[in-house]
Structure 1
Amino acid sequence: MSAPVRFPRFFLTNPAPCPYLPGRTERKVFTELNGEHADELNDALGRIGFRRSQNVAYRPSCADCRACVSVRVIANEFEPGATQRKLLRRNEDLQVSACRPWSTSEQYDLLRRYLNARHPDGGMNDMDDMDYADMVEQTPVNSYVIEYREPGVDGLPGKLVGACLTDQQSDGLSMIYSFFDPDLEDRKGLGNYIILDHIMRARKAGLPYVYLGYWVEGSARMQYKVRYRPLERLGPEGWEKFEPGGA
C-alpha cells in the first residue's frame, strides 16, 4: 500500500542581499522534496516557477520586487540562428553522455576552474568537494549529470570540458546548474552549446520545454537566456510567449 499523499509545508527564508540587483534584498519560499511523490511534487512546483536545490524546491518571494521571472524554451519550435548553428558545428565532435548523479573529482576540478574564472565573488565560490557532492547526489528526483568530453584517445575517455546537473521532468528538462572549461580558446561559447544540446535532447525525447531558471531584467548575468526563442515566461496569468527588448 502506497504512503498517503501529504501536502507540502512552505517556509520563508530570512532577507539576504540580492545576488542579481545591487542594493536589493531577496527572500525565498521553499519546501522539502521527499518521499515517493517527490518527482510529482517537483513537476508541479516547476510549472509554477519553483527551482530545485538538493532536496528543496524554492522560488523568490520578495515583498517589493518581481524582477525574477521563470523562463523556458519551447523545444519543438526552436530553430537555431546562424551563430548557434556555427556553435553546434564547432562542437559536434564532443562526446555527450548522461551519467547518474554521482560526483567525481574530475567534475569538481572543472567546477573550481569555472567558478574562479567566471564567478570569483559569487556565493558558490567557497564550495568544497563535499558541498559539490551534496549538490549532485542529494536528489530525490530523476536527475543526471550530462558530461561533455573531447574525443578520447586509445580507448581512454577524453578531457571533460563541460557538465550540467539536469532534472528530467514530465514536461521537459530543467537545467539546475551548468559549468564548463573557461580556458578553451577554440571552444568559446561552451555554456551556450550546453543549452543548445539540452534543447535538442528535449526535442528528441518528445519533451516540450527546457527550463532555464530565472531571467532578471536589468541583470547582465541573465541576458544570455533570451537568445533561445521562442521563449515563455511565467506571469500572473500563467506561461506566455514573450520577446524581451534589447536582446
Structure 2
Amino acid sequence: MRHTLPIAPQFYVTAPQPCPYLDGRMERKLFTALQGEHAQRLNDTLSKQGFRRSQNVLYRPTCAECSACLSARIRVADFQPSRTQKRILKKNAALARNATSPWATEDQFQLFRRYLDSRHADGGMADMDIFEFAAMIEETPIKSRVIEYSRPAGPGEQGRPLAAVSLTDVFDDGLSMVYSFYDADMTDRSLGTYLILDHIAIAREAGLPYVYLGYWVPGSRKMGYKAGFSALEIYKAGQWQPIGSPADHTAELHPLSVDPIAEQVARIALPEARMPRD
C-alpha cells in the first residue's frame, strides 16, 4: 500500500521591524524555508493560505496587534476590465511579451535600478547590487518565469528596449506576481496596472483560475490600487472571500486581532508526501 505523511516544515518568526506600508507600526513575519523535493507542493499549499514567496522563503505577516495585510487574488473567469483598464490595454498594445527562465540580465538590472531610484529610493531594496538582484530573480526552488515586456525602439535606439519585467511563479491554480518593475519614465502608460491585466490574460490562456497579487493593505496608498480590479478576493479569517467594499476593512490596531503563533501554526494545512509502496 502507499503511505502518506505530512510535509513538516519548521516555522519561525522574525524580530519586529518598521512596517513598510503603515507609518508608525512594527511588522513581524511567520516564515519557513522553501527547499527540497517538496518545495513546489509546499508553495502551492501555503500560498492558498496567505503566504508569499521571497527567494527560498515562504512568509506571512503575523504582527502583534495588526492584521491589516490581506493576501489578494483575482478570479480570472469573473474579471471584467473597467473603462480605464481597457484604455490602459489599448495604450500598451505595442508592447511585446517574452517569457523566459528565471535568469537575471544586465538590461533587467539597469531597468530595476532606474525604477528604484524613481519610485522607492528610500525603500528596503534601495541598496541592492547586481548580485543581490540576481539572487532575487534566480534563487527559486519552484516553477518560475521572468516575463519581459519590450517597447518599439525610439530614434537612435537599437532593438526593442525593456519597458517592464515581472518575476512570476506558476502555481497549480494560478500565477503569482512575485515582483514587478518598469520604466518609470513611461508614467502615462500605467505599466503596473498593465502587467496585472496581461497576467490575467496569460492565466486565462493557460486555464488557471487565479492571479495572486501579494498583499492588499487597507489604509496604505502603496497597495490601494489592487482594490481597483474586479473579481478581487482577499484571504481573511482563514478563508478566501470577495473583497466587497474596501471601506469595510480597517487597519486598526487591536491586541486580540492576531492569534498566538502556536495557534496559527497548528491551523496551517500542509501537503502530504507520498511514500514508496511496501
1:216 aligns with 2:217: yes
TM-score (norm 1): 0.94
Q: Which residue matches 2:128?
A: 127
Task: Show structure 1 runs of 5+ residues with no match.
Answer: none
Counterpart of 2:68, as a letter, is: A
Distance 1:65 1:35 in 2: 33
Distance 1:112 1:152 in 2: 20
Distance 1:34 1:214 in 2: 23
Residue 173 of structure 1 contacts residue 210 of structure 1 at CA under 8 Å; is this kept in 2? yes
Counterpart of 1:72, as a letter, is: R
Counterpart of 1:241, as a letter, is: P
Q: Which residue matches 1:227?
A: 228
Counterpart of 2:210, as a letter, is: Y
Q: Which residue matches 1:94?
A: 95
Distance 2:45 2:7 in 1: 14
Distance 2:153 2:143 in 1: 28
Superposed CA deviations along residues 168-212 of structure 1, whole A, max 9, x for unmatched, are 000000000000001125x52011100100011111111000000
Distance 1:9 1:109 in 2: 37
Partner secondary structure for residue 74 of structure 2: strand
Q: How many residues align?
A: 241
Q: Which residue matches 1:149?
A: 150
Residue 227 of structure 2 contacts residue 246 of structure 2 at CA under 8 Å; is this kept in 1? no
Q: Which residue matches 2:264?
A: none
| Deviation at residue 227 of structure 1 after TM alignment | 1.1
| Deviation at residue 217 of structure 1 after TM alignment | 0.5
Superposed CA deviations along residues 97-148 of structure 1, whole A, max 9, x for unmatched, are 1110000010000001101111111111111100100000000000011000
TM-score (norm 2): 0.83
| Deviation at residue 241 of structure 1 after TM alignment | 0.7
Higher relative contact order structure (alpha carbons within 8 Å, sequence separation ≥ 6): 2
Counterpart of 1:216, as a letter, is: V
Q: Which residue matches 1:43?
A: 44
Point out 4+ residue stretches in structure 1 off by more than 6 angstroms. Answer: none
Task: Show structure 2 runs of 5+ residues with no match.
Answer: 249-278
Q: Which residue matches 1:25?
A: 26
Q: Which residue matches 1:137?
A: 138
| Deviation at residue 6 of structure 1 after TM alignment | 3.8
- Residue identity (%): 51
**Higher alpha-carbon Rg:** 2
- Measured on the aligned residues, the alpha-carbon RMSD in Å equals 1.6
Distance 1:106 1:119 in 2: 19
Distance 2:238 2:46 in 1: 16
